Structures are given as structure tokens and as C-alpha cells.
Structure 1
Amino acid sequence: MTRSLAGSILTPGGFVAGSLHIDGHGRITAIEGRDISPEQARENGDILLPGFVDLHVHGGAGRDVMEGGDAALQVARRHAEHGTTALLATTMTAPYDDLEAALGAIGTLCREGAPGAARVLGMHLEGPYINAAKLGAQPDFARPVSLDELRRLDALAPVRLLTLAPEVPGNMDAIAALCGAGYRVQIGHTAGDYEQGREALARGARGFTHLFNAMTPLHHRLPGMVGAALAHAQYAEIIPDLLHVHPGAIRTAMRCIPHLYCVTDSTAATGMPDGEYKLGRQAVTKCLGGVRLADGTLAGSTLTMDRALRNLVDVVGLALDDAARRVATYPADFLELTDRGRLAPGAWADVVRLDGELRVQAVYLQGREREGQEGDRRHVAHAG
């Protein structure tokens, strides 16, 4: 059975008003229509964007990835409600046994997926290979990178991305071996300087974890790790919740880093009322739109990717097509996924339908409408 979705469709070449055709396996077969501008797409409504790809997700729906059990599944379902169709479950810095328990519970979900949930592509190890001087909201279990430990964890659930501080003894020398073994390396939670950032990139590191946060800042005589990112990076994460980074700094980074992409860094508090929640072993409090430790340190966010998109367009001032690439295409490109994060023939039909106010109306996961969602069926046609 094939199906078609009609609307203002964002293709790699721009918006078209027309139809997107999907085969029985959930792949896009063709897109037909006439070219329109991003402004016309928003005026027309019924906007079809590639499903969002979030490479930094700790939690949601009151659950934390580090809990194990079905926590990652519930997190993936909550984020799917907001248009995220693929994500990396993200760990905290923790003892090996805690990481082993968390990844052991997620492996099957990564391999098989689940109805109504964003596809969990694998793991992002945000710790433990970071600098204890730049923990942010991470518990103090930081340690140098261990390729043997990493391989044992990868056997439980695929490790697609890891954050490390290159200045920690042994970490810089490990980067080439990590990249050679197929792991993608980001620089983060680092007290390193500009020169160490440049060297880490030269050795194979590909990006920066939540740019500006938990790293040495830019100063005109000490450019720091932020300076290395702005001067040399092709990719970096940024959290556009408007708490972690000022809109002006977001615009600055976007002018400097060609493929700057958005992450939520979301926690268990995402989609939940104010109150206390867990972030790994840490107790955190949601209040005033943010999540913090008892001392006031920001501890992840309550951001969802649909809100990230609206912030980019309505506050930062990006065109809708540019904003969509930063919440879908660029993170998929960072993982070298050519069949997600874009609406094009051969790609998975991961689609989010938005209205003119950029509110989610429907989500399609590999061609299937998300479970528990009524959707707007006026725009869906079936052919046997």
C-alpha cells in the first residue's frame, strides 16, 4: 500500500506545494509540486518538515535515560509528540556499573524500535570522559577515556557519539584511536584552551557539546574553547531554549559554524509540572521554565524540538527552511545518516506536520502516523 501526504513540503531544494508519496516500507518514493517560498509555506499552513533529529536527550515525561528499564522508551514517546522522530539517548557521568545498567536496558530499543516512539539511534555518552573542573550539572565521576570500557558499553547499545575533554591526560592521544574505531567525538565539559581545541579537531574530533556551556569562553586575548569552535568547527550543538544561550550568541555561532545544529539537552522534567526530578544521580528542580541544581546551576532543559524550531524562527529570526535544517538535516548529517533528517526520495518518511504557527499537528514515523494521534486526515490519501 502506498500513501500520499499533501501540504507545503520542505525538500532539500526548498519548499514545494504538492504531495509526498510513501511506499509500503515507509520510504519516500517521490515528491511532486510547485516551488513556493518559506514565507508562502507558513502562510499556507499544512507545513511538512523532516522529522526532528535530537542528538542530546537525557529524559522527558518524568523519566531519565539513566534509570534503565523502560525509561528510554517513555522518553522517546514523549519527544515524538513534539516532532522528534530520531534521537540519541544521552547518559550522565557515572560509575561504570550505572552506565552498564542503563545501556543494557536500551540495546533492544535501539535495535528494534517501538510503535509511537522516536527511533533511538544509539547512545551519546556525555560523560564520563570529561574534566572534573567543568562538570556543569554532571556528578563527579569524571575519568580519562578508556577504549576498553567504551567497547564493553558499545556491545550493550551502539555508542554513536561521545563527549570528551581533550586536555584531560590521555584523552587527546585517544582521539585518533576512537575515531578509527568508528566513534564520533565531540569536545565538551572542558577547561581546555584554544590550541587544544584546534589540536583535537585536527586529530578527528568533529564537533562541540552544547556550545558556550561548560567550556572556556571567548576573550579577545584568550579565545578559549569557544574561540576554537567559532574559528574552526564545521559542526556544533547548541541549546536554543533562550536560557542556555542568548539569541545574539546563537546568531554569532550560526555565522561562524556552517552546520550548527540544535539539541534539547532535555531532562525528566520535560513536559512535566514544576517540581523535583532526577538527572542521573543528581536531584534537579524545574521552576521558572528551567531546570537547576540546588546551587542554581542550569541542569539540562525542558526544551522540545518544536519549541526549538519556533525559537529559531520567531526569536532568533531565521527563515523556516534554515531553522528546519538545524533541527533535522544537520544533526542527521553529523551522524552521516542520508536517509533521515530530509524529505527526499529514498529517505525514511519521518515527517512532522505543522500549522502556520509552527505547532505540531501530526507526526509520521517511517510512514506511519504516530499512535494515539488523531491527525488531520483530510490531507492523507491512500492507494492500494
Structure 2
Amino acid sequence: MHAIVNGRIVLSDKILDGCALLFDKNIIGIVSRETLDTAWADGQSWKGKPLDITDAGGNYVAPGFINLHIHGCGGADTMDATEDSLAVMSRFLVQTGVTSFLPTTMTCDMQTIYKALERVRENMTLITRRREEKRGSLQSGQHTSEEMKGDMSASGNNPKDCSCAGESEPFDNKTEKMQQYRLPGAKVLGAYLEGPFISSKYKGAQHEDSIMPADFMQIKDYADVIKVVVLAPETLGNPEQVKEFIAQCKAHNIIVSLGHSGADYDTALQAVMEGASHVTHLCNAMTGLHHRTPGLLGAALDSAVTCELIADNLHVHPAVQRLIYRTKGVAGLELITDSMRACGLSDGISELGGQTVIVKNGEARLADGTLAGSIVTLNRAMANFRKNTGATVPEVVRMVTENQAQELGLFEKIGSLSPGAAADVTICNEDFAVLHTFVDGREVYKNPDI
């Protein structure tokens, strides 16, 4: 049992002072310091259970951050597809307050992408794997009446531990390995597929040779792994093909994100009407906003889609960040990093998707000057966005926690400090510098300067 005291506890709409956060592997609850002191009278236990105390020192106590879109960091990249690549990323990310992430692929030949997805599958947390297993059993009518009752109670805000759900055939041969394996820090929730279903004209820092029209059969075998797929809708032959692709993704609970696209306003809005619900790094690698041709950017601002934003002050100007914040509101925005392997390293030569990248003065660019992802960390992006927009701490935290968890269908398990949720907790200061990070109740990072 663990308690965090003397912290400012960040909820979705307010900050609680004078309280303590109790947790073991999961969140137990929030109690007043007076209640804790009364029950903790012997200084060693809470209701008979041994109690460890972390003093937050007046800093913020927030749900662990979720990085929805990240290629790499700390010298590793998702496309490395090695034993250590995701572990390196996992270990680095907790230093930035991130407790869950979606490793992001790049446009490449499909066999290389499949290797990366296999590695993600091997490292996916039980939260998402069991959720997919349970969904598969439900769709095939294999749930028992007791399991159905449990599902119904979960929908009534009585969180159910998804790791207790029954097995289903696609994952039986991996269950034992999954139970034994644990990444050293942040958890892998699945994969973000940023290519190859994109526009050649708006490819950004991606390889053009492997770009192809969207085809669900190319990714069907990894539907359990892929949580977000990027689509340039104008690259398909007709609206019916767009409709069919989006429908197939939705049937497998894959979020369709519009991005790396030259779609005009009408084409983009039609894709939204068909079920595309997300936009990849808003403003970047897409048709911009013009008063006569609103483009994909205009459609994103004029609809209810959730929009990603790279708040490194390089990809999107601070003034535009303010306009987007006012237009989309807190619920419509998710801060991401889109970072590459050079994130967390010094200036020099790096790599992204097989292409040489030059990192200098906080910028990562290809030889032709094209921006190549970012090297910003999520907590730094949060600080930038707060300074640029005047957003409150609860608002900024929501844009890296609750919004992502809700969109992924995992809000009962991550993204909040609600009782029953996984004890993924970040303690940070006013500038979002991270002091402590807990994953599933384990302290996985303590800032050496405190």
C-alpha cells in the first residue's frame, strides 16, 4: 500500500489540496490528510496494511501521461523491431511522466511494418490484450452469463479488472509469455500506424516508394495491435472505398485518423461523416486553411474530430496553438510528441525511417530541410502549450490523459485517479518537470535531483 501526501491532486476539472492519494497496484482512493493521519496512527500502516509514503512536496499529483503518437526516443525507434527497442523507449518515457504509449510505425514495405507490429504485440500490456480477447469472445457469443453481468456493471462506473477476462484463441499461445514479461517503465497499449496509406504529396519525412492506397486486408492480421491508422482519403478511387475502409476499421475498433493528406474540405468532411474521428498532428502534412478553400485543417476545426497537436513551438506557431485551443476546446485536443529516436539525445546525425536526420538547435530535419518529427518530450510540450494558451493545469493534464484513454476505450483502467484504475501516477512541478513516476503502483522513476 502506498500513499502520496502533501501534493496538489489534479482531477479533470479541479485541483485538490490537503488530500492523500492511496494506491497499491490500482488506485484505492483520495482521502483527507486528517483521515490518513487518523488511520495511520502507528506511522506504519493503513487499516492494518504496511504503508509506504511519498511526500510530493507541494507539487502536482496527476494521472500518468499517455503519449498517443511517438516513433522513438532515447536512441530507439519503433521500426527497429528489436528485443530492446521498446524497452529503451519505455524506460526513457517515464522520465517525462509518460506511463502508457502507442509505438508509431512509418511508411515502409509491409513486411518491415509487420515485424514492428509483431514486436508491439509481444509487449502489449494485459489491459488492452485482455480487452481485445473479451471483445472477441463477446462477438462470438462465448461469454458466460456471469461475465455479461460483470460487463454491465463495468459500464455503470464499477471498473472491472480486464486482466481477469477469459482467453480467446488468437492469444492463447502468447498468454504465458505476456504474464512473465514486463517492460521497465511505460506500458505499450498497441500501435499507431502512420503509413503507408498516405499521400505522396504530403508524405512529410516518410518514404514515398512504399506508399499505397488504403487496403484493410493489408492490416487485418494485426487488428488486435493497431489502435490508430492514418488515412489520406483522397488517395482512394471513390467515396465507396473510403466508406468501406473506415467501416472495416471501426468494426475492429481501430481509430481512423485523417493525415498526411491533400484532401479538400468536402472530401475530409465526408470521411468524418463515414466515421473517421481523429486527425494526425493538426496543421502538419495536410492542406492548410484558406478563406476560400478550408482544406483538411478547416474540416478538422469545423467538426467534432479529436485533433493531435505537436506543441514544440516549431511545428505549430504559438499563436496558432491559441486559435486551435479556442476552437477545439479541451475535449477536442490531444498533445503528442511525434518524436523520433533523437529525442533525449544531443545534437548530431540521427535516423528516421531509413533517412538521415540532422538534429541541431532543437530541430530535426532531413537533408532537404523537411521537418522530421520532433525531439520534444510530452511534459515539455505541456509546459509550452500552457504558456502559449493560458490553459489551466487540469486542462493540460486532461489533454495527455483522459482524452486519450477515452478515445482508446480504456478510461476505466487508465487516464484518471479514479478508484479501480491502474495506479499510473506522475508527480510534477509547475513547469511539468517530472519528480516521480509510478506504473501499476511501482515507482519506476525518481528524479535524481530531488
TM superposition score normalised by structure 2: 0.77
The separation in 2 between residues aligned to 1:116 and 1:152, in whole angstroms, is 28
Structure 1, residues 197-241: CA drift from partner, whole Å, max 9, x if none?
A: 111111010110000000000101100100000011331101000
Aligned pairs for 1:304-319 (under 5 A) are 304-319=377-392
2:440 maps to 1:366: yes
Aligned pairs for 1:125-140 (under 5 A) are 125-140=193-208
2:86 maps to 1:92: no
Letter in 1 for 2:320: A
Paired residue secondary structure (1:228): helix
Residue in structure 2 matched with residue 58 of structure 1 by the alignment: 71
The separation in 1 between residues aligned to 2:26 and 2:16, in whole angstroms, is 19
Measured after TM superposition, the shift of residue 14 of structure 1 is 1.4
Structure 1, residues 268-316: CA drift from partner, whole Å, max 9, x if none?
A: 0000011111112221111110111101110100111110111122233
Residue in structure 1 matched with residue 416 of structure 2 by the alignment: 342
Measured after TM superposition, the shift of residue 176 of structure 1 is 1.7
Paired residue secondary structure (1:133): coil
> Between the two proteins, what is the percent identity of the paired residues?
36
Paired residue secondary structure (1:167): helix
2:234 maps to 1:167: yes
The separation in 1 between residues aligned to 2:97 and 2:360, in whole angstroms, is 24
2:361 maps to 1:288: yes
The separation in 2 between residues aligned to 1:284 and 1:133, in whole angstroms, is 20
The separation in 1 between residues aligned to 2:255 and 2:430, in whole angstroms, is 37
Residue in structure 2 matched with residue 9 of structure 1 by the alignment: 9
Residue among 361, 374, 393 paired with 1:301: 374
Give the RMSD, CA atoms, in angstroms.
1.9
Structure 1, residues 117-143: CA drift from partner, whole Å, max 9, x if none?
A: 211100000000111111001111110
2:144 maps to 1:145: no
Aligned pairs for 1:319-330 (under 5 A) are 319-330=392-403
Paired residue secondary structure (1:31): strand
The separation in 2 between residues aligned to 1:328 and 1:229, in whole angstroms, is 21
Deviates more, 1:84-93 or 1:335-344: 335-344
Contact 1:115-1:370 at 8 Å conserved across structures: no
2:35 maps to 1:45: no
Residue in structure 2 matched with residue 228 of structure 1 by the alignment: 299
Residue in structure 2 matched with residue 277 of structure 1 by the alignment: 350
Paired residue secondary structure (1:361): strand
The separation in 2 between residues aligned to 1:209 and 1:192, in whole angstroms, is 13
2:278 maps to 1:211: no
Measured after TM superposition, the shift of residue 373 of structure 1 is 5.9
Number of residue pairs the alignment of both structures matches? 363
Structure 1, residues 180-204: CA drift from partner, whole Å, max 9, x if none?
A: 2221100000000000111111101
Contact 1:12-1:344 at 8 Å conserved across structures: no
The separation in 1 between residues aligned to 2:64 and 2:446, in whole angstroms, is 18
The separation in 1 between residues aligned to 2:228 and 2:375, in whole angstroms, is 22
Aligned pairs for 1:26-41 (under 5 A) are 26-33=25-32
Deviates more, 1:209-218 or 1:245-254: 245-254
Paired residue secondary structure (1:80): helix
Measured after TM superposition, the shift of residue 90 of structure 1 is 0.1
Q: Which structure has the greater CA radius of gyration?
A: 2
Measured after TM superposition, the shift of residue 267 of structure 1 is 0.3
Measured after TM superposition, the shift of residue 13 of structure 1 is 4.2
The separation in 2 between residues aligned to 1:123 and 1:184, in whole angstroms, is 11
Letter in 2 for 1:160: K
Letter in 2 for 1:229: A
The separation in 2 between residues aligned to 1:224 and 1:27, in whole angstroms, is 44
Letter in 1 for 2:423: A
Contact 1:285-1:293 at 8 Å conserved across structures: yes
Residue among 182, 186, 190 paired with 1:122: 190
Deviates more, 1:367-376 or 1:98-107: 367-376
Contact 1:45-1:356 at 8 Å conserved across structures: no
Identify if the C-alpha distance between structure 1 residues 198 and 357 changes in structure 2 by more than 3 Å, giving closer, same or farther: closer
Deviates more, 1:367-376 or 1:354-363: 367-376
Contact 2:301-2:328 at 8 Å conserved across structures: yes
Deviates more, 1:146-155 or 1:342-351: 146-155
Letter in 1 for 2:363: G
Identify if the C-alpha distance between structure 1 residues 223 and 67 changes in structure 2 by more than 3 Å, giving closer, same or farther: same
Letter in 1 for 2:228: L
Letter in 1 for 2:96: H
2:251 maps to 1:237: no
Letter in 2 for 1:12: S
2:69 maps to 1:68: no
Unmatched runs of 5 consecutive residues or more in structure 2: 34-56, 126-177
Unmatched runs of 5 consecutive residues or more in structure 1: 35-43, 377-384
Residue in structure 1 matched with residue 92 of structure 2 by the alignment: 78
Contact 2:205-2:366 at 8 Å conserved across structures: yes
Contact 1:12-1:343 at 8 Å conserved across structures: no
Paired residue secondary structure (2:423): coil
TM superposition score normalised by structure 1: 0.90
